[in-house]
Amino acid sequence: MEQTFGPIRFIPGSNSGRYPHCHSLYIEAGLKVLVDPASDRKRLAELRDRPGVDKVWLSHWHEDHFKDLDLFDDKELWISAEDAPPLASLDALLDAYGMNADERRSWEPLMVQSFHFKPRKPGRVLNGQEVVDVGGVSVEVIPTPGHTPGHCALWFPEQEVLFLGDYDLSKFGPWYGDRGSDIDDTIASVNRLRTIPAQVWIAAHEQGVFQNEPGELWDRYLQIIYQREQKLLDLLKKPLTLTDIVEARIIYGRKREPANFFDFGERALMGKHVQRLMRKGIVVSDGAAYSRA
C-alpha cells in the first residue's frame, strides 16, 4: 500500500519489494524526484505520465534498483560519483560484481532482458553530506558505503523521514559481496544510520516502512554478519578451498536454483569474510586452501 509522509510517497515494490524488485520513493515538491525506479513498472509509468518525474535518483548501482530506469531515458539521472562507473557499460557492471567468465555468460542476457540495462551517465552526482533543495523540500545525502562504495541514504529532516536504501533490516542480512563492498564499512554505515533522529524509517526491501524505532532490528541485522563469520571459522578448523566454503551454504542454507545466482552470492559474500579474517590474521592461506591460523 502506498503511504505518504508530507511530500514523500512510498511506492511499494512487487512481491513485498523482494529481489528483483525494490520499493521506490517519489518526492512531489517543486521538483518531482523518483528514487530507485524498480518497484512496480506499471505504477512507475503512471507516475511518469502524471503528475510527472523531473529527476531520477539512485541510492546505488544495483540492478534491482535500476530495473525500470529505461522508462526514464529522457530524465536526468543522479547517483554518487563512486557508484556511477558500473552504469557506464554492461562490462563495467559485471566487473563491479567481480563475476567470473561463467557467471558473466549467465548474467549478461539477464541484465539486458530482465533488468532493461542501458549504459547511462549521471547528469549530476549526489555528494555525501550535501543538502539538496528539491523545491521546498530539503534532502540530506548520507554517505553509507559498504553495501556498495557509493551507497547513499536520504534524510528528510523536516519530515523526520530516513530512507535506508539497501540497509533494509531484513532477516537475510546485509549484502557486501561486490568487488568494492566492505564488511567493516557496512557495519559503520548501519551504526551511523541508527543514530539519526528519525520518526519514520523506509527501507528498499521487504517491510519497507517502520514507524516505530527499529530497536533490536538494528542489532539482529548486524548480528547476521558475525553469525556468518563464526560459521566460517568453525568450518576452517580444517583446510578448505573457496569452492568447499560455497558448498557449505552458509548464506542460503542449502543448494538452491538457479545455481548461477545462488552460487555467486555464496562465493561473493563468503569471499569477503575470508578476506576480512585474513587481514586480521585469524585465517591463513597456502595458496590453494584456507584454514585458521
Identity of the amino acid at 212 = N
Residue 35 has which C-alpha cell? 528514487
Contact (CB, 8 A) for 130 and 153: no
Q: Which DSSP symbol is given to 291? A: E
Residue 174's pLDDT is what?
98
Residue 142's pLDDT is what?
98
Query: Residues spanned by CATH 3.60.15.10 within the chain?
Result: 3-214
CA atoms within 13 A on the CB side of 213: 9
Residue 141's pLDDT is what?
98
Q: Which of 170, 292, 180, 279 is nearest to 220 (CA)?
A: 170
- 3-214: CATH class: alpha beta
Residue 199's pLDDT is what?
98
Residue 208's pLDDT is what?
98
Mean pLDDT by 10 residues, the chain (293 residues): 98 97 98 98 98 98 98 98 98 96 94 98 96 97 98 98 98 97 98 98 98 97 98 97 98 94 96 98 96 96
Residue 110's pLDDT is what?
96
Residue 152's pLDDT is what?
98
Residue 131's pLDDT is what?
98
